[in-house]
A and B are shown apart, each in its own frame.
Chain A
Amino acid sequence: MSSRRSYLIRRVLHGFMALFIIATLLFFLFRLGLPDPTAALITEGLNPEERERIRASFGLDRPIWEQYFIYLANIVQGDFGYSFHYRAPVADIIWERLGNTMILMLPAIVLAYGVGAPLGAWLSWRRGSRADTSGIFVGLMFRSAPMFWTGMIAILIFGIGLGWLPTSGMRTLPYDASGFLDKIFTLDFLHHLILPALVVALYYLGSPLLIMRNTMLEVYGEDFIEMARAKGLPERRILYAHAARNALLPVVTQLAVTIGLAAGGQVVVEVVFSWPGLGREILNSVRTSDFPLAQASFLVMAAFVITLNLLVDILYTMLDPRVSFK
């Protein structure tokens, strides 16, 4: 018990350390690359005194190290500054966008792994058959196709061609909702969610499918499978209760990696479907030179990835008790 707790504490500390390093990296990257952040604010006719006053109000006239500690202190307090483009606090913008990204990403990954792993187990059972070959090929095919291209093709077929599904956005305008849950639990919203979620799910389906299939094939050779079979257990029970449980470990490991990739890869899906998520916001803020928003969005997304990785690691210790003793 105490070893599990110490493991978890260490993982959490590692997460915070990673976040700290990323924040520092961001700070110096921005200082390195941007000679004068106020350039975005300068309008024609602004005199040098006005420019200096603006720099002072942003704290840019202080020594670099003082700026750094102010920056860290602000982050800890949840103060991410002010968006040049939206003229609003960055924090307000980010939380809404992050919510939108999670709404799209989590169902897609649950779908990819919820379908991919059982399907992989089934393919291992049918090893060598036509279904096995076809399943592998389809999984690899969707993995090989860029997500944004799959999205465009899906829009062409199901949105424009057949007219079954909306082609962009989170909901039909105009719209009014009193709360977050009211916002997402509507038929209109779910209707809009189908296409982007499916596109993301299809992309990530290949990993659990292939990993599960290959690992199941390995597990079949283990002694405890022979034992279960000797006890006269039904084939299906052996397949799912014994073999699948063990084969799930690498799938969970891959899930951790996928979550990190999915958060970033979300950008293109959000762009193709005009989904107002955090990734798309980073792209827009880059284009409008909205540095506070770009910087904070990236940091929050990194924190999001690290947190999800942490949760998966905790889940991992439940699946395999041996991990906690490491």
Chain B
Amino acid sequence: MNRSRLMKSAQEPIRAILGDRLALVGLAVLLSIIAMALFAPVLSTHAPLAVNEREEGSLFTRSVGDGQVRWQASPPLGEATLNAADYRDGLGMAVGRDGVVWRYAGGDWSRLDTPLTATLNAVNIREDGATLVAGAQGTVALWTPDDSWQTFAMPEPLNVNGIAWRDADTALLVGGGETVWQLDLTSGEVTSLESPVGRGFDLNGVALDTDGSAWLVGDRGLALRLDPDDDSLTLERLPGNRELNHIHIADSGAGLIVGERGTLLVRDDAEASWQSQDAPDSRAMRAGWITDEGHAFAVGRSGIVFEREPGGNWQLVPSDEERHLRALMVTESHYFALGSDRFVNRLAPPSGEHWFGTDHLGRDLYSQNVHGSQIALLVGFLGAALVVLIGANVGLVAGYFRGRTETVLMRTVDVMYGIPFEPFALILVLLFEPSLFIVILAVSLLTWRTVARLIRSQVLSLRERPFVKAARVAGASDLRIMYLHIFPNVMPLVFLELAIIVGVSIIAEATLSFLGLGPPQSISWGGILHNARLSGAWREAWWWNLPPGLLIMITVLSVFFISRSLELVANPRLRARR
């Protein structure tokens, strides 16, 4: 009998919701959010706090505007890192990971079909346009302008890092373990040249000099010179002992060697000696290029670009993005930088891979928002349940007994109204550690007051009803009258307040998290906005701002729509809301 009465009390609110179209929409949305919270691990496309990386064939173009030099990101060339590039007489070639080869002609880039799969580290164009490419596992191949490939077998599967044409039929190849090979392209024959050092250092670059000799550079500042007359290698002493990553010599004899820790070695002409020059930054430089006039460029990790005017000092030039640059290609009209190892995908706009984009640490924002619904709903419903439990009981007791009991309880409510919410939460966090419990406690402590007032005012009128008087005459106890007779009649109002306070609690939790007072190491919508504000990147990354706030608004709106239908069931004259 008693249970069925409570059941009947709950039926009316449910029927009110189902009868109101707006409330139905609100209910559907709320259920969707709840499903999102329950299935967050399944719905997330990434681990919410994992740093996401990616890779691309980055392409940067130098531009001069308003007297300012800037290297701007162009649309990338595919998704594989580009390791080396060369240009000659209108033809440009760039090579990279997984045997990728891009061709630049007539101002356009196009990808070539290749039979190669190994990572390519070196490329050099012959005078007739034929191009030799080389890379990991002893991969060496020749591309001819009729778009055909010819591969060559190497004695060992070593990394080949540099190529230089000696003449139309002979090429130098340098690589790991001080390997120096001379390839005869007509016969496919490979001759190993003996290094005078013999300590197994990697060789990273090779360039033909104007007198027919060749320079080879590598790790530990290793520099070798090839005598064109007897094909012997001699050790050369260069300033410094950093790893040398690349060498380029222009037709005029001007030369540039770049290496680790901002190493820059410059030779002004064929007769000059190599000079170490000061770099504006000490990061690793991967590639360099110098023109006949001595205009020089160097690129390296994290988008670093150095430039030097002929005879001038090296300058750090701004570039758009922090890509790892590994190659340079200079044409008659353009300067290109290419590269990108794997890099942190920070502040990426929404895309097919990351639907809501990424934040300043490369974390997926869609997954964060999905997980954020868990805390929002947890605090929302737990907080609301606690609030209504306290408020309804206080109001019930105060309204029923009146007199001194009512005075004490309602004065307590008055005191609570004097306490501002957010500052009180701040004080609580100051005194106790931030945690989910403190958040729920803060939300509950300061919102039950409204419920208490509303329930009390309704109980005041209900207690005078005939059915209550009849129960009292029949000898029922105060407890029985309060909870079995009066309480079912205030249930509609309780449901209404429950719905309203869910929305209030969700906003309150978001507010606390936004102020940095939420549970540490948790993911919440307010916390996402807190991180956005702290990083300062929210002013550009609009995708960081929009989703959490929209989700909060949609969730709270759906709860409000439900509460509006419940309002008709509750006393129509009671309009007070938070």
Partner of B429, one of A268, A272, A286: A286
Contact in complex: A301, B420 (CB < 8 Å): yes
Q: Is A244 an interface residue (CB 8 A)?
A: no
A18-B418 contact, Cβ under 8 Å, with A34-B431, A265-B511, A301-B423: yes
Q: Is B426 an interface residue (CB 8 A)?
A: yes
Contact in complex: A297, B423 (CB < 8 Å): yes
Contact in complex: A148, B514 (CB < 8 Å): yes
Contact in complex: A264, B553 (CB < 8 Å): no
Residues of chain B within 8 A (CB-CB) of A306 are 418
Contact in complex: A250, B575 (CB < 8 Å): yes
A145-B552 contact, Cβ under 8 Å, with A156-B539, A156-B542: yes
Q: Is A207 an interface residue (CB 8 A)?
A: yes
Contact in complex: A263, B577 (CB < 8 Å): no
Contact in complex: B427, A263 (CB < 8 Å): no
A254-B418 contact, Cβ under 8 Å, with A146-B514, A153-B549, A264-B424: no
Residues of chain B within 8 A (CB-CB) of A282 are 423, 426-427
Give bound CA distance, A272 to B545, whole Å: 13
A264-B423 contact, Cβ under 8 Å, with A29-B431, A250-B576, A302-B418: yes
B572, closest chain A residue (CB): A218
Interface size grouping (class) on chain B: 35 or more
Q: Is A30 an interface residue (CB 8 A)?
A: yes
A264-B573 contact, Cβ under 8 Å, with A21-B415, A146-B552, A148-B529: no
Shortest C-beta distance, B186 to chain A (Å), equals: 65
Contact in complex: B424, A298 (CB < 8 Å): yes
A143-B560 contact, Cβ under 8 Å, with A17-B411, A264-B422: yes
Give bound CA distance, A14 to B59, whole Å: 72
Shortest C-beta distance, A312 to chain B (Å), equals: 11
Contact in complex: A283, B515 (CB < 8 Å): yes
Interface flags, B385-427, vs A, CB<8A=1, else 0: 0000000000000000000000000010011011111111011
Residues of chain A within 8 A (CB-CB) of B578 are 257, 261
Q: Is B557 an interface residue (CB 8 A)?
A: yes
Contact in complex: A144, B503 (CB < 8 Å): yes
Q: Is B510 an interface residue (CB 8 A)?
A: yes
Q: Is B556 an interface residue (CB 8 A)?
A: yes
Q: Is A166 an interface residue (CB 8 A)?
A: no
Interface flags, A253-297, vs B, CB<8A=1, else 0: 110010011011111100110000001001100100101001101
Give bound CA distance, A291 to B427, whole Å: 9
Contact in complex: A33, B431 (CB < 8 Å): yes
Q: Is A141 an interface residue (CB 8 A)?
A: yes
Contact in complex: A144, B552 (CB < 8 Å): yes
Give bound CA distance, A155 to B540, whole Å: 11
Partner of A254, one of B414, B421, B577: B577
Residues of chain B within 8 A (CB-CB) of A218 are 572-573
Contact in complex: B557, A140 (CB < 8 Å): yes
Give bound CA distance, A301 to B545, whole Å: 30
Interfacial residues of chain B within 523-578, with CB under 8 A of chain A in the complex: 526, 529, 532-533, 538-539, 542, 545-546, 548-549, 552-557, 560-561, 572-573, 575-578
Contact in complex: A149, B427 (CB < 8 Å): no
Q: Is A314 an interface residue (CB 8 A)?
A: no
Q: Is A194 an interface residue (CB 8 A)?
A: no
Partner of A146, one of B418, B423, B526, B573: B526
Contact in complex: A268, B420 (CB < 8 Å): no
A148, closest chain B residue (CB): B514
Interfacial residues of chain B within 160-204, with CB under 8 A of chain A in the complex: none
Shortest C-beta distance, B554 to chain A (Å), equals: 8
Shortest C-beta distance, B350 to chain A (Å), equals: 16
Give bound CA distance, A34 to B556, whole Å: 37
Q: Is A32 an interface residue (CB 8 A)?
A: yes
Interfacial residues of chain A within 1-56, with CB under 8 A of chain B in the complex: 14-15, 17-19, 21-22, 26, 29-30, 32-34
Give bound CA distance, A145 to B532, whole Å: 17
Shortest C-beta distance, A244 to chain B (Å), equals: 15
Shortest C-beta distance, A221 to chain B (Å), equals: 11
Interface flags, B330-367, vs A, CB<8A=1, else 0: 00000000000000000000000000000000000000
A268-B533 contact, Cβ under 8 Å, with A14-B411, A153-B549, A260-B417: no
Shortest C-beta distance, A239 to chain B (Å), equals: 19
Contact in complex: A268, B515 (CB < 8 Å): yes
Q: Is A109 an interface residue (CB 8 A)?
A: no
Q: Is B450 an interface residue (CB 8 A)?
A: yes
Give bound CA distance, A314 to B502, whole Å: 32
Contact in complex: B418, A22 (CB < 8 Å): yes
Contact in complex: A211, B577 (CB < 8 Å): yes
Contact in complex: A298, B427 (CB < 8 Å): yes
Contact in complex: B431, A149 (CB < 8 Å): no
Contact in complex: A156, B545 (CB < 8 Å): yes
Q: Is A124 an interface residue (CB 8 A)?
A: no
Residue contacts A-B, CB under 8 angstroms, 15 given? A26-B427, A33-B431, A144-B556, A145-B549, A145-B553, A146-B507, A146-B552, A148-B511, A149-B529, A153-B545, A214-B575, A254-B576, A263-B420, A265-B421, A283-B426
Q: A34-B431, A309-B418 are in contact. List 5 more A-B contacts (CB 8 A).
A: A148-B514, A148-B529, A152-B549, A155-B539, A264-B423
4 closest Cβ contacts across the A-B interface?
A33-B431, A264-B420, A149-B549, A144-B556
